[in-house]
Structure 1
Amino acid sequence: MREESVPVALALNRERPCAIAWECRSHRRCRALRESTPEAIGPRIARARKLRGLTQQQLADRVPCSKSLIAQVERGHKPASQALIAGVARTLRVEPGELTGQPYHSDKPKEERLHAAIPDLRRALLSWDLPDEDVQPRPVADLAADVKRASKLGRDAHYGRLGDMLPGLLEELTVAVHAAPAGQQAPLFALLSEAYTGATAISYALGYFDLRSLAMERIEWAARRSGDPLRVARTQWQRSTLFLAGASYRRGAQLLDRVRHDIGEDIARMDPATLSVYGATHLRSAIFAARMPQAAAAWAHIDEAREAARLLGADANYYGLEFGPSNVAIHEVAVAVEMYDGTEAVRRASRITLPQTVAPVRLGHFYIDLSRGWLYHGDRARALDTLYAARQVAPQQTRNHPQVRETVRMFVDLERRRPKSLSGFASWLGVP
């Protein structure tokens, strides 16, 4: 994509909002918006780098990446990728949230509702071994129905509604599992592990990274007591996301290799649930390889996952993994984007026809990745159109995704004549 300079101060009309909010000093409305909006990732990286006494070249050498990339991200000419954020956070020894500015709060009650459940959710996770004596759990069938409903809310990226129901459900399940006789605890632990997964979905989407790590511990604790080896394997697949966020790609890849070793490699004899776990680990391994970067290994993992999906025959949702041909196709685009190959991402996406049954949370991620693919390909208009598609299928997920915000910030910065679609999207995000 051709690099463009940031437009400087334009002639301002006091009768209407300014064209570039952060360059206006006379309009109170624009100044208030600027002050209430989280700072962009680029300036946050620059400040953290300077506090460590590093030059751009020194930071680039340690990530590693090019000095040009660091310079362009810090100036706002390029949006920071998830891989760059993770690498910089690891190098500068800061939490990713210090660079992304997450969680993103809003002065709109509807948006702020997403965060209202976090204190209760945190208390529920901390009380894993301290059941509330005042809570009377419902019958197991009712609890199982609610866990299924919670899983669907997470699948549909309805985090506000999920947050409303999850703390109380976790409290009930905690009481139930501790009160049950030893021989009847296993299915309750399975339900509790599944419900804890909802906590990781909310914390990941909103950027509560410490809460996410705590929820991961609870998931594994409950899964191991469920007596289900595949559920335990699934928790290790989920645990690998922490290695992605920490830019510890080699160890994350080793973890997934171990999972596959434990469940076996003879896919011809695997049942559908095992195929799903096996295939999902290859998809995650492909992302690790792409970030290292090891292109041949990344595409080899995609091929292994595709073969598992072929044997599975259709999309399935064992253990909430959503594995199948559609998810393999989605990860093909993601791998190309992780390796900054926008043309390949766009090419592969052009061959994909995703069924309506694909989970909105997966579809949202797909469109967010594809938007970045169009950006790397040099087509900003298509990139913005694709973000609108992500917003349509998974609005809460899209609004809280740091890559979406950084991409839109860059568009606002570089576009001299902003189309109404860009202004509208930026306003929806709360980006000036």
Structure 2
Amino acid sequence: MRGMTQHLTTGERVAWYRHRRGLSQDVLAGLVGRTADWLGKAENNRIELDRLSVIRALAHALDVSIGDLLGEPTLLEWSKDSGRRTLPALREALMDYRQLAPLIGTPDAGEPPTLAALRSDVGEVWDAYQDSRYGFAARQLPSLLSDALLAARSSSGDEREEANGLLAMTYQGAALVLGKLGENELAWIAADRGLAAAQLSGNKVIIGSLFRSVTHCLLSAGRFETAAQLVKDAAGYLEPGLGEPTPAYLSIYGTLFLTGAMAAARAEDRATAREFLQEAETAASRLGADANHMWTAFGPTNVAIHRVAAAGELGDVQVALDLGPQVDTRALPVERRVRHGLEVARALSAWNRTDDALAAVLEAEQLAPEQVRHHYMSRDLVLGWVRGTRGRPSRPIADLAERLRVV
């Protein structure tokens, strides 16, 4: 059904699904505690639907998923990085019953890789994720999953624990990439299996990392309150190790609270969002500087990025606009820089500073075209600008809309 709505804004998709459900504007508006006038403006792109808490309420009332209203997933373009076997190959790898039930059949995978080679390959995929090279990561992950599973089953003792840890990080890499591409159900499968492997590793840092991945999946599914509760429970599990934590341990702990802050903000729970951001800031202060332990990009700057994002989710546009441009993200991985750039663009657009917002999106696109193309925020911003222009949109907006495949 999403293919029929791929060139619609979020507001236009609300109208499309509302008609399919046979609901009037008065009825749907009442179900989400709004007025029919507000809903009419949202459906006609005179109000931007840019808060996930509002989109979730509409999705719930229409009995559809958040992804249905955001238009996810989108097609992963072929490239030199991706080749011509992209997400279907990764889907096949995750759904191969022989990987799940070795008692009734195992794939003919040959010799298991050495742990050194596996560590290198896992690191390569994670680096690609942080560089927003999703096509490359999607291409590498199917064979990497097979290798990591074989290593985990072929090893013993301490080596088996390490192999399970690497398997968990492979699954987490898959979950993150799939989440970025809008494949939320597949991302959940990968995160669930990753957490199981992490527990077999006995490594609390890796277990904490997978808790974060499961939290991301709950966020994508619109289960914001559950995600926030998971963060509280996971923090309780990790707290005993905070006496003399390694930098990696502290980074995982702090990043978990950043994810929780977004969950709380999307649930419109200001107090918990503030509490989680403060806990993350305390961990960042203990760490002392920005770092990238366990590919977390954790530190004071990432905390500042999440303050801006949380403000945006809570509807505090002026706060996001005041704080956002002040955050210097140049030392962070590309994925973090671009995500923050889109957040700033959203705040600028909300204040009708379209030229500045467009400049922010174009800058982000230069850094990471794949990430910008697949993020609902950039697609909806650009499509809204196209729809909101009387006559033809400006050439830069029209060209960007064509590159993002939203028209």
Q: Map residues 136-151 of structure 1 onto 2, 5 A cutoff.
A: 136-151=111-126
Decide whether aligned partners of structure 1 residues 351 and 357 sit closer, same or farther in structure 2, where only a CA change above 3 A counts.
closer
Q: Map residues 105-254 of structure 1 onto 2, 5 A cutoff.
A: 105=75, 109-110=78-79, 113=82, 116-127=85-96, 128-129=99-100, 130=102, 131-254=106-229
Asked if the contact 1:192/1:222 (under 8 Å) is kept, the reply is yes
Q: Does 1:93 align with 2:68?
A: no
Bigger shift: residues 398-407 or 345-354:
345-354
Asked if the contact 2:179/2:220 (under 8 Å) is kept, the reply is no
**TM-score in terms of structure 2 length:** 0.89
Counterparts of 1:404 and 1:114 in 2: how far apart (Å)?
25
Q: Does 1:362 align with 2:336?
A: yes
Of 227, 236, 259, which residue of structure 1 is paired with 2:234?
A: 259
Offset of residue 183 of structure 1: 4.7
Decide whether aligned partners of structure 1 residues 231 and 372 sit closer, same or farther in structure 2, where only a CA change above 3 A counts.
same
Decide whether aligned partners of structure 1 residues 222 and 68 sit closer, same or farther in structure 2, where only a CA change above 3 A counts.
farther
Decide whether aligned partners of structure 1 residues 385 and 75 sit closer, same or farther in structure 2, where only a CA change above 3 A counts.
same
Structure 2 counterpart of 1:365, one-letter code: R
What secondary structure does 2:178 align onto?
helix
Counterparts of 1:157 and 1:122 in 2: how far apart (Å)?
20
Counterparts of 2:37 and 2:166 in 1: how far apart (Å)?
49
1:226-285 deviations in whole A, cap 9, x for unaligned? 111232222222211233233332222111111111212795643322321221122222
Which residue in 2 is equivalent to 1:344?
319
What secondary structure does 1:42 align onto?
helix
Offset of residue 151 of structure 1: 0.8
Q: Percent identity?
A: 28
Which residue in 1 is equivalent to 2:349?
375
1:157-183 deviations in whole A, cap 9, x for unaligned? 101111121111111111121122255
Asked if the contact 2:81/2:136 (under 8 Å) is kept, the reply is no
Offset of residue 73 of structure 1: 2.7
Asked if the contact 2:109/2:146 (under 8 Å) is kept, the reply is no
Decide whether aligned partners of structure 1 residues 88 and 227 sit closer, same or farther in structure 2, where only a CA change above 3 A counts.
same
Decide whether aligned partners of structure 1 residues 251 and 58 sit closer, same or farther in structure 2, where only a CA change above 3 A counts.
farther
Q: Map residues 8-87 of structure 1 onto 2, 5 A cutoff.
A: 38-63=7-32, 67-81=36-50, 82-87=52-57
Decide whether aligned partners of structure 1 residues 178 and 73 sit closer, same or farther in structure 2, where only a CA change above 3 A counts.
same
Which residue in 1 is equivalent to 2:264?
289
Q: Map residues 270-285 of structure 1 onto 2, 5 A cutoff.
A: 270-285=245-260
Q: Does 1:410 align with 2:384?
A: yes
1:385-432 deviations in whole A, cap 9, x for unaligned? 111121122210101112211111111122236332212211211233
Asked if the contact 2:66/2:222 (under 8 Å) is kept, the reply is no
Asked if the contact 2:82/2:139 (under 8 Å) is kept, the reply is no
Asked if the contact 2:53/2:313 (under 8 Å) is kept, the reply is yes
Counterparts of 1:234 and 1:268 in 2: how far apart (Å)?
19
What secondary structure does 1:418 align onto?
coil
1:53-94 deviations in whole A, cap 9, x for unaligned? 433344344445565543333222334323333333333332
Asked if the contact 1:361/1:397 (under 8 Å) is kept, the reply is yes
Decide whether aligned partners of structure 1 residues 190 and 266 sit closer, same or farther in structure 2, where only a CA change above 3 A counts.
closer
Decide whether aligned partners of structure 1 residues 68 and 248 sit closer, same or farther in structure 2, where only a CA change above 3 A counts.
farther
What secondary structure does 2:112 align onto?
coil
Unaligned 5+ segments in structure 2 are none
Unaligned 5+ segments in structure 1 are 1-33
Counterparts of 1:147 and 1:372 in 2: how far apart (Å)?
33
Larger radius of gyration: 1
Which residue in 2 is equivalent to 1:387?
361
Asked if the contact 1:87/1:246 (under 8 Å) is kept, the reply is no
Structure 2 counterpart of 1:281, one-letter code: L
1:96-143 deviations in whole A, cap 9, x for unaligned? 33223322238x644995883212212222233344224333322111
Q: Does 1:319 align with 2:287?
A: no
Decide whether aligned partners of structure 1 residues 320 and 56 sit closer, same or farther in structure 2, where only a CA change above 3 A counts.
farther
Decide whether aligned partners of structure 1 residues 67 and 325 sit closer, same or farther in structure 2, where only a CA change above 3 A counts.
farther
Which residue in 2 is equivalent to 1:24?
none
Offset of residue 42 of structure 1: 2.4
Which residue in 2 is equivalent to 1:8?
none
1:310-353 deviations in whole A, cap 9, x for unaligned? 11011222332221111111111101111222221111123322
Decide whether aligned partners of structure 1 residues 88 and 326 sit closer, same or farther in structure 2, where only a CA change above 3 A counts.
same
Asked if the contact 2:48/2:350 (under 8 Å) is kept, the reply is no
1:175-231 deviations in whole A, cap 9, x for unaligned? 121122255311001111111122112211221122111111111111111111232
What secondary structure does 1:104 align onto?
coil
Counterparts of 2:43 and 2:84 in 1: how far apart (Å)?
29
Asked if the contact 2:325/2:344 (under 8 Å) is kept, the reply is no
Count of aligned residue pairs for this structure pair: 397
Asked if the contact 1:38/1:104 (under 8 Å) is kept, the reply is no
Counterparts of 1:309 and 1:183 in 2: how far apart (Å)?
31
